[in-house]
């Protein structure tokens, strides 16, 4: 059977380590957060809001391209008609 004094001594030593372990855990967590933030910054990621703004701008640009493509097609048809009429 284990000696009661030994258990008390072990208990006291473990209890003394708890604040040190808590400080170490906090420090490790802080360093990990800093490392992750730096890694994400290096990746040049967009926030969700920035992504949605870029997606909306792209959609507007695509709509404008379609409008201009349609206009060019219409102008080409008119030019063909004028060319045919002049022959």
Q: Where are the domains of the chain?
A: 1-45, 46-87
Closest CA to 10 of 22, 21, 2: 2
Rounded to whole angstroms, the Cα distance separating 8 from 18 reads 16
pLDDT averaged over every residue in the chain = 86
11-50 residue pLDDT tens: 778 777 777 777 787 888 888 888 888 887 788 888 899 9
Rounded to whole angstroms, the Cα distance separating 6 from 12 reads 10
pTM: 0.51
Rounded to whole angstroms, the Cα distance separating 68 from 36 reads 44
Query: Does the pLDDT of residue 2 top 80, yes or no?
Result: no
pLDDT at 17: 76
Q: Copy the structure tokens of residue 86.
A: 């002049």
């Amino acid at each position: 059977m284990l000696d009661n004094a030994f258990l008390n001594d072990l208990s006291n030593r473990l209890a003394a380590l708890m604040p040190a372990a808590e400080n170490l855990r906090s420090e490790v967590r802080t360093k990990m957060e800093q490392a992750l933030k730096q890694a994400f910054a290096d990746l040049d990621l967009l926030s969700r809001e920035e992504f949605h703004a870029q997606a909306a701008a792209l959609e507007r640009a695509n709509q404008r391209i379609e409008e201009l493509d349609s206009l060019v097609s219409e102008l080409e048809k008119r030019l063909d008609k004028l060319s045919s009429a002049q022959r």
